[in-house]
A and B are shown apart, each in its own frame.
Chain A
Amino acid sequence: MKRPDLHTLGPIVALIALVVLGALLNPSFLAPANITNVLARSAFIGMIAVGMTFVITAGGLDLSVGSMAAFLAGVTIMAMNAIAPALGIHWGTILIGMGVALLGGLIAGYLNGALVTKARIEPFIVTLGTMGIFRSLVTWLADGGTLSLASGLRTLYRPVYYGGIGWITWPIITFAIVAILGEWLMRQSRFGRHVEAIGSNERVARYSAIDVNRVKLMTYVLLGLLVGLAVVLYVPRLGSASGSTGVLWELEAIAAVIIGGTALKGGTGRVWGTVVGVLILSLIDNILNLADLVSPYLNGAIQGVIIVLAVVLQREKSTADER
């Protein structure tokens, strides 16, 4: 084994640098409350990004996840509000709502995957289309306004985001489990190996008797399911969904995947890297809010610079290898 190089460690180095910077700039950065905040708000994008890692590794792309999350959140809220009068306000209603979110995610993911694999349309085009469709549907369902969960249900459901074991709240726990399972699935399972094989060379994968279409379809279904899971945890946070929910989540998820060392062209997937990427993105926001480093007008520029730097740090080595 060769010693670990900058190529793989780049994202971790960036993450540690950000943590040190944050701690130096503001002592409350390392307070448990702030850590909980950052980790919990990373959870939505985080779970979606773990799913996105599989889609991108298999050579695909999904631009619809942000809109899908908004749409599923809207449908989940409407479903719970609709059955609450019949079932009453208790956990049964909420469990049904969660089921709606997960099932909806499964179906939406299947729809994307089927259009890519069965109708043979470019994933960029398919998901650009479904992105617009989901976004319009939630705006239409909300009548241009906001869908809000009935207040009794909201009180009951709230601890799913805010509660947990001590300061480790449920979104953090769920995100950790998803990340560990995702890492295992990518590294240890046959599915993960097939995903990488398809991403590096689809034709060879097909000749090796891999059911390429099925595996690709499964990556989109998995991503849809994880979007559904993110929605299950998102809805109790503000108890509402509108046309502006989840805007640009797809780009944040894709950015996290790429920062983490997964190749945009597919073939190599690194789930733990994605998790680091998500944390880097959340930390940048958090640090910019905690420290008055620059004019808030420039926040986007700082984010852009750090994203590019994190990727440059890990790509330098690999391009050098190729020469």
Chain B
Amino acid sequence: MKRRNLMKAAALAATLGMTAGAALAQEAEKKIIGVSIPSATHGFMGGLNWHAQDTIARLGKAYPNLEFVLATAGDAAKQVNDIEDMMATRNIDGLVVLPFESEPLTAPVKAVKEAGKFVTVVDRGLSEEGIEDLYVAGDNTAFGRVAGEYFKANLKPGSKIVVLRGIPTTLDNERVDAFQKALEGSDVEILDMQHGNWNRDDAFTVMQDYLSKYPQIDAVWAADDDMAIGVMEAIAAANRTDEMWVIGGAGMKEIVKRIMDGDKQLPVNVTYPPALISSAIEMTALRFVSNAPMTGRFIIGSQLITPENAEQFYYPDSPF
């Protein structure tokens, strides 16, 4: 039950602030870091929220002179308000932001930068280059490429596969383009690509229709672990479990567990870790507590999770 972590973190920060108040006076001056992320509306964001809270609680303990303000937003407009509030009422020294959408967030984040604050942008870039001091992101191209390479290496020529796409976005396009590119030159045919919207129910429906439509499917690129779960359920209902394997993505704990256990239907997975928010917060914190240079771009590679290395990607406490 980690959902009260936010409150705990706040309480912790408050008590630390009080008890350590005297000590702090002679230590380095207090720095406030604002963290603005989308709210937990689907599995991946849920994991990201959990990792953000977890990291903030840990860093708050490790560096008493750092204080964190966490805000989650359900849409871009709310996120803009959050950031303005952080500037106006909390006087933040640094901002870690995962933009809900690139366009609407560009100007507000630019304003933060112009006020002389340290800005870290996570995962979704802003529409104008050169605003952020630090950019931390997953690698969508590698996400598609690593999966595509696995398909190419492990399918016989003449194999047929189906693909489930996410919500129509540039991010999804990058992944799918890289996937198709990686498959080029192989004799593997992509039968169909429909949108499952990173949603279990939608993926279930789309997969049921794929199964009605195509008598031969050798493998499925579900491209997301939530979708993979819906897909596997549809395959099981059609009694075709032995015919095809499924590759999801992002490293959901239930899926990683099944890979660890050597499930034949789920041979591997490709990471796109929600914990990338932790990297961003940690690096921003280091900017204020150390002399280590923390500017630039930090791209987190997408790795292949196999039964051999699955253990190091397994976080049983995370909701994702």
Contacts and interface: CB of A to CB of B under 8 A. Distances in A.
Interface residues of A, number: 33
A26 B40 CA distance: 39
A244 B41 contact: yes
Contacts of A33: 211-212, 238
Q: Which one of B2, B192, B205, B320 has the greatest number of beta carbons of chain A within 10 Å?
A: B205
List the 5 closest pairs (A to B, CB-CB), nearest first: A145-B319, A144-B40, A144-B46, A289-B209, A145-B46
Nearest to B1: A143
B201 to A, nearest CB: 7
Contacts of A286: 209
A297 interface: yes
Main secondary structure of the interface of A (DSSP, over half): helix
Contact of B3 (A31, A41, A144, A296): A144
Contacts of A285: 205
Contacts, number: 97
Interface of B: 1-3, 39-43, 45-47, 49-50, 165, 168, 192-195, 199-201, 204-206, 208-213, 226, 229-230, 233, 237-238, 254, 318-320
Main secondary structure of the interface of B (DSSP, over half): helix
A139 interface: yes
Contacts of B320: 145
B213 A143 contact: no
Contacts of A189: none
Contacts of A145: 40, 43, 46-47, 50, 318-320
A290 B205 CA distance: 11
Interface of A: 26, 28-29, 31, 33-34, 37, 41, 139-140, 142-146, 148, 162, 237-238, 240, 242-245, 247, 285-286, 289-290, 292, 296-297, 299
A146 B43 contact: yes
Given A33-B238, A144-B50, A145-B50, A139 B212 contact: no
B41 A240 contact: no
Given A145-B46, A244-B42, 7 more contacts: A34-B212, A41-B208, A237-B233, A238-B204, A244-B199, A245-B200, A289-B210
Nearest to B49: A144
Contact of A240 (B2, B192, B200): B200
Nearest to A41: B205
Nearest to A139: B40
B6 to A, nearest CB: 11
A290 B214 CA distance: 9
27 contacts: A28-B212, A28-B213, A31-B212, A33-B212, A37-B212, A142-B46, A142-B319, A143-B2, A144-B45, A144-B47, A145-B318, A146-B226, A148-B254, A238-B200, A238-B229, A242-B42, A243-B46, A244-B43, A247-B199, A285-B205, A289-B205, A290-B212, A290-B213, A296-B165, A296-B193, A296-B195, A297-B168
